[in-house]
Structure 1
C-alpha cells in the first residue's frame, strides 16, 4: 500500500479528511501491545515525531512547521500550502546530523517572498527564496523567540549574552534586524544584556510594528544555590537561581521600546513583588495592561498604563483567600473597547468583558465547563477559545462574538485535544491534535466553513497499526470522603476480560492528568511505559484530583493547604471504585508519580498502608520547605500561627516512619527543581527506621529524568517495570 493510501486509511478512522484517498481494509492487529521497553523507545519512534513550531505566512496561504517524517528526533522545516493541499520539506539539516538525540531546528518564521529565518543549535539562519542557507548574527548565541513585525519589515528575537568565562549567561537580550537584510550582521540591541540576572523573558509586537512590549525579569534579589553532584567521574556544580518559600523571587516589570528612537519606558505592576501572568498593548499602541497577582495567587489585579506618560490606573481586582489556580488571561477587546478577562470569579473559568476601570465584568460564556485559553480576532469581532465543554478530558475550539451571543464549536466532532495556531486572518487554524488512539499530528481546521479537519502529517511508523493499544475509557464516581464528583481516565488491556480481576497501577499521578490525548500527559514520555504495562496485563488509573483544572473553583479549592491529604483521598476513591466494579484485585494495586506525583506517592504509602502493595516515587517533593515559592498557592506561606505544623503535615519527610509497603525512589543528582539532597535526607530517615526501600540514582539526571536521554529512559523504565512485576504481577494464591 502506498504511503498516501496508508495515511488515508489511518486518518479516516479518526474522522480526518484526506482528499482523494479511498478507505482501505486494515490487517487485524495482534491482541495486546507486544513490544518491549526497548522496542517502544527507539531513536526512530514507532509513534513518529510530533510536528511542532507552527508559523503562518502573513497572508495565511501556507503554514511552516518542524517535523521528521521518519520518526527520528531531529526536525527539519516543512511547508503546507492551504489552497493546493500540498506538503513538502524545505530543509535537509537532518541528513548531515550526527547526534541522534539532537532536536534539530527549534523555531522558524516566514519572512515572505519565499524567505524564512530559523534557529538551529542556537544559531540564527536565513534561507533565501532560492534555497540558499546563510548563518546570520554569528556572535549571538542561543537565539530564540523569533517574531516578525505585523508589517513584515522587522524580525525580533531574544538571545543570550556571552559570559565572562566564555560561556553564556542565562539572561535574554532583545534584538531586532531588518527582515529584508542579507548581511550576516544587522541586528540592533533594544533591551537587556547589562546584567545576566536582569533579562528579557518574552516580548510582543504592537499592532503598528513601531513598538515592542517586553517582560524584563530581575533575579538579583533571588538566592543562588549550589547543586553539587558527581557525573563523568568528577564532582560538578549546577549553580542556579533558586528561591524557597518565603525567599525573594523574580521581579517582573513590563518595558515598552520605541523602535525609531530606542527609548524605553518601564511599567511595574501594582506591587513590585507581583507575579505577571500576561500583558498587552492596545491596538492603537497607547495603552498597556498588566495582568498580575500576589505570590500566593489569592488577589488577581489588572492595571492599565499610559505608554507615553507611564501613568498607572487600577482596572480590575478580585480576591479569594482559598484560590489555588492562577489560570487567568487578559486581552484587549476589539476596538480597544476595554478588556476580555478569563477568570473563575463566578465559579468556573469563563470569558468576561469589562469596558471601563472598576466596572463589573459582563460574562460572555457560561456553563459548568471551563475555558483554557482564548485569542481575540479583533478585525471580525470574534473570540476563539479552547474549552472542555464537550468533556472534561477534551480541548476543543469554540467561537463567541466579542459582544456576546451564541457559542459555536469550530473544531470537528472528533474527540480529542487541539492546540491551535491561528492564521493571521483567522481563516484557518493549524492545530496540534491528538487523542487517546492518535499520536500527535498537524491538522488544518477551516474556521469559516467547518467540516472535517485536514490531516497534514502522518507521523506513526507503519508498524504502529500492527499493535492493539490500550482501551481508554472515562469514569465518574464520588469521593469516598465527601461525595465530590471525580473523573478518571482508565486504560484497559486491549483484550480485557470482564471476568478477571487485574493488577492496577495508579499513575503516573499528578494534577491535570485526565486528558483525551496520546499518552494522557504530553509533558512526560510515559506513553510507552503505560502501553507496555497495559500490554503486560495491568490496568492504569489517572484521577482528576482536587486542585486540577476543569471542574470549577470549588472543586479546586478543596486542595488548599492539603498536599498529601485531599489529593490522595481522591486517588483512593478511584481505587475503591475500580475494586467495587470488579475490575481490580485489591491486593495488587501499585502507585507511582514524579515530582508532585512523587509527593502523592510517598504520602499514599505513609497514610494509607495496605491500600497499595508497592509505590515508585520519582524525584519526590518530600520537603515542601524546599518547594518553589509558587507552591504557596496551595500550601500557603511559611508563616502564621499554624507553622511549622502546616508545612510538616504537607511534607512526606515528616511522615516517613509510617511507610511499610515496598518503595522505590528514582532521582537525578542534578535536579534543580526537587533537590537530590532532599531524597538523601528522606533515605536517611528510612534507614534509621530500618525500613527497606530501593534507591535508583541517576548521575547527572535532571528533574525530567525520563527525558534526559534514551539510555536513561530505558534504564529507569525497566527498573520500574521489574519492581512492579515483583510486587503486583503474580496471581494471588487461593
Structure 2
C-alpha cells in the first residue's frame, strides 16, 4: 500500500487565524479547534469558496470583463485592475423602474459594442433555461427588450447585426437595426416537435441544450428539429395543491422510441430552409453540429443507436447533400466530446479518438484522411483548451501526470514540442484560455486545499496575477478540527490496482478499531466529464460540502473512505469500458474488494463497515447492501437507479445495449432482483420530482423489499429533483443521514 498524506491542518497552518488582542502564539496553538456543524456546512456561508464571477475574455487579449455589483467592468489582464466601467448598473434601469435590472449573465457581439444581458433566468432541466433578454447599445446607451415573454439561448450573429433565439419550441431571428422579429420555424409544439433546442435526453446525455448555430459569415442558421411525437411520456406528480398537478414530458426509457432528429439550415436573406441529408435511418443520434472553416459547409456528427459507430458528415447547406468524411468505431462505445476543431484555411481538422486505447489527438485533412497522430502515451486527453493558428500549437488538459490529476499541456500539430504548462506539483487545473491563447484563467486546487484562481501566460504558464486565493476560507478551515486526508492504492484479489482516499479522525489512534463509511459513485464517465470520486482536488473528487461532511463524521469517530473501481475515467479505455454490457457487476465486486481490504487493516472494525452514494452511487449502495450483504452493516442509497429498464435510452444503451438485445445485462445486477438478500440497515432517499432518475426506481425497490419481508427506512422529498436541494432541504437531508450513520454504524 502506498500512502500520500494531506494533513489539512499542516497544509493550512501558514494561513491560520489572525491573533486576537491579548493572545500570544502559544495561546493560539492551545486554542480548542472548532467542531464542524451541519449548519456550518449546509445553512451558512461559513465554507463558501470565492470565485471570479462573470469572467469573459475580451477581443483584445489584454483585457477581460466581469460583473461587479451589477455593473460590467473591464479589467487589465496583466494587473487585474479595473480600467473602465463598460456598463454601469444605473444604465441598466428601465424607465419608471425602481432599480436596475438584476443581471445574471451577458454576452458581447463581435465588436463588443452591443451586449445581451440576461435576467430572470429560469432553469428547466440540467442545462436548459429561459430568460428575459435585453440588448444594450454602448454607443447610444439604449436598453431594449429583445422580445416578449422569455426566450432561450439568445445569440448574436458573428457580424453583430442580428440575434437568434428560441421561444415555444420555435426559432426566431431579430434584426437589431429595426428590431423586426422573424420566425424561422412555426411548427413547434410542446411534447411533440422542438426546433432550435434539444429534447430531454439529448440535453442530459449529450450535454447541450441550445440547438441552433450561426454560420461564420452570419448568412445561415443551422438548427436541430426533434420530432418527439412517438416518444413515450413520463407523468410526474407535483404535490402541494388540493389536487396534485401532472407534469408530463417526453422521456425515452431504454429500448423505447427516441425522437427522430433532423438538421436544417436557414438562409437569412432569402428565408429559405434547406434540410440536410443525415441518412435514411431515423433511429440514430446527431450528438454534435458545427460549422467548418469552408463556406457553406456544415459538420454533422452521426452516431448509431448502439453508439459504437461515429461518422463525421460534411454537408453543403445550399443543397443539403452530405458525405462521410471520417468514421470512428469501438467494440463498446465511441466517446462524444467537444474536441473537434476545424483549422483556419479550411484544409484540416483535429479530432480526438481512443482507437489506440487512450483518448488522443489526431490530425486529418478535410477528406478525413489521417495526417498523423499528434499525442501518444498511456494517458488520456480530457479537454482541448485552445489552439494558436500562428504557431500551430494545441493546448490541452490531460492525465499524463496522474489519473488523479488534470494539468495543462501544449503540443504542436507536428506532434513535437510537448510541454507541461501547469506549474510543477500535484493537484487539478481547470483552464479557461483566451481565444488568442496568450493567457488563461486557471483554477487550481489539491486535496483539502481550496481553489486558487489565477491569470497566467499561455505560452509559459507564468503567473500574471492571483485573482482569488481563498485565503479567508483557508483561515476559516484552519480553525476547525479536521481529520487526516490521505490517498492510497491496493490490489484486489484479481491483481487490479485501485485508487482510494481515506479520512481519519484528527485524534486517530492506530491501536483502536474504527467503523468505516465508504462513499461510492462508481458510474462510467463519458466524454470530457469525470465522475471520479478519487481526485486530487479540493474535495478529493467530491464537492467541498461532502468533503466537510465526511470530516464531520470523522470527528464522531468514523473513518471515511472512497475506492475508485473499474468503470471510472483517467486510466484508459480498457479500465473504463470493462463494465460494458454488464453494469453493476464489476463495480460491486470492486467495492466489495475495498471493504475486504479495509476490514483487514488493524485499525478497522470489519463488522462495522457502511456505504453511501447518490445517483449511480445510490444504485451501487443498493447493490452492495444486497449482493455483498455480509460485508456492509448499513447503507444510504440516495436517488438510485434500481432497474436500468427505467432509465433513459441514450445513457443506458450506451453501456448495456438495448434491453431487447441484452436482457441479462439489465436484470442480473438490478437491486430489485436481490432484495431478499438485504441484512444491514438501509435508508432509501429520493425526490418525488426527480426528472432524471425517476421516483419509480425507489418505489420498485421498496415493493421488492416488502415482498421479501425486509425492513428498511425511507426519506422522500416532495417535488425535489435529482439534486434534492432548495431552502433547508440539504440541511434536513444531511441531518437525517448523519443520524442514520450514528445510530446504525
TM-score (norm 2): 0.82
The 1-side partners of 2:419 and 2:358 are apart by 19
Contact 1:334 1:379 in 2 (8 A): no
Pick from 262, 273, 276: which aligns with 1:267? 276
Is 1:664 the counterpart of 2:677? The answer is no
Q: Would the alpha carbon gap of residues 114 and 288 (structure 1) be closer, same or farther in structure 2, given more than 3 Å must change?
A: closer
Contact 2:346 2:366 in 1 (8 A): no
Q: Would the alpha carbon gap of residues 646 and 716 (structure 1) be closer, same or farther in structure 2, given more than 3 Å must change?
A: same
The 2-side partners of 1:500 and 1:176 are apart by 70
Identify the residue that residue 118 of structure 1 maps to in structure 2: 117
**Cα distance per residue 1:226-267 (max 9 Å; x no partner):** 112533564122211111111112343333334433433333
The 1-side partners of 2:321 and 2:611 are apart by 54
**Cα distance per residue 1:46-95 (max 9 Å; x no partner):** 22354455322122233234688xxxxxx9866532143215997769x9
Aligned residues: 677
The 1-side partners of 2:370 and 2:346 are apart by 17
Gapped regions of structure 1 (runs ≥ 5): 1-9, 15-23, 69-74, 97-102, 162-170, 729-734
1:149-160 matched pairs, under 5 angstroms: 149-151=157-159, 153-154=160-161, 156-160=163-167
TM-score (norm 1): 0.83
Gapped regions of structure 2 (runs ≥ 5): 1-10, 16-24, 94-100, 121-130, 198-209, 524-530
Identify the residue that residue 527 of structure 2 maps to in structure 1: none
Identify the residue that residue 642 of structure 2 maps to in structure 1: 622
1:582-621 matched pairs, under 5 angstroms: 582=602, 584-621=604-641
- The alpha-carbon deviation at position 331 of structure 1 amounts to 2.1
**Cα distance per residue 1:541-597 (max 9 Å; x no partner):** 233322222111111221012222101112223333334444533222111112211
Q: Would the alpha carbon gap of residues 663 and 369 (structure 1) be closer, same or farther in structure 2, given more than 3 Å must change?
A: same
Q: Would the alpha carbon gap of residues 11 and 214 (structure 1) be closer, same or farther in structure 2, given more than 3 Å must change?
A: farther
Q: Look up the SS of the partner of 2:622 in the other structure.
A: helix
Contact 1:32 1:535 in 2 (8 A): no
The 2-side partners of 1:172 and 1:418 are apart by 39
Identify the residue that residue 79 of structure 2 maps to in structure 1: 84
Pick from 715, 722, 726: which aligns with 1:696? 715
The 1-side partners of 2:341 and 2:450 are apart by 32
Identify the residue that residue 410 of structure 1 maps to in structure 2: 421
Q: Look up the SS of the partner of 1:222 in the other structure.
A: coil
Q: Would the alpha carbon gap of residues 543 and 172 (structure 1) be closer, same or farther in structure 2, given more than 3 Å must change?
A: farther
Aligned CA-pair RMSD: 3.6
Identify the residue that residue 485 of structure 1 maps to in structure 2: 497
Q: Look up the SS of the partner of 1:231 in the other structure.
A: coil
Is 1:637 the counterpart of 2:658? The answer is yes
Indicate the larger mover: 583-592 or 430-439: 430-439
**Cα distance per residue 1:652-678 (max 9 Å; x no partner):** 111111111110001111112222133
Pick from 243, 246, 266: which aligns with 1:257? 266
The 2-side partners of 1:537 and 1:80 are apart by 48
The 1-side partners of 2:498 and 2:269 are apart by 55
Q: Would the alpha carbon gap of residues 703 and 193 (structure 1) be closer, same or farther in structure 2, given more than 3 Å must change?
A: farther
Q: Would the alpha carbon gap of residues 269 and 457 (structure 1) be closer, same or farther in structure 2, given more than 3 Å must change?
A: farther
Q: Would the alpha carbon gap of residues 40 and 525 (structure 1) be closer, same or farther in structure 2, given more than 3 Å must change?
A: closer
The 1-side partners of 2:115 and 2:338 are apart by 34
Q: Look up the SS of the partner of 2:55 in the other structure.
A: strand
Identify the residue that residue 366 of structure 1 maps to in structure 2: 376
Pick from 666, 685, 688: which aligns with 2:704? 685
Is 1:220 the counterpart of 2:218? The answer is no
Contact 2:451 2:469 in 1 (8 A): no
Pick from 513, 516, 532: which aligns with 2:552? 532
The 1-side partners of 2:114 and 2:658 are apart by 51
The 2-side partners of 1:124 and 1:618 are apart by 37
Q: Look up the SS of the partner of 1:483 in the other structure.
A: coil
Q: Would the alpha carbon gap of residues 54 and 322 (structure 1) be closer, same or farther in structure 2, given more than 3 Å must change?
A: same
The 2-side partners of 1:133 and 1:434 are apart by 42
Pick from 675, 680, 683: which aligns with 2:694? 675
Contact 1:154 1:177 in 2 (8 A): yes
The 1-side partners of 2:683 and 2:565 are apart by 23
Q: Would the alpha carbon gap of residues 458 and 508 (structure 1) be closer, same or farther in structure 2, given more than 3 Å must change?
A: same
Is 1:300 the counterpart of 2:313? The answer is no
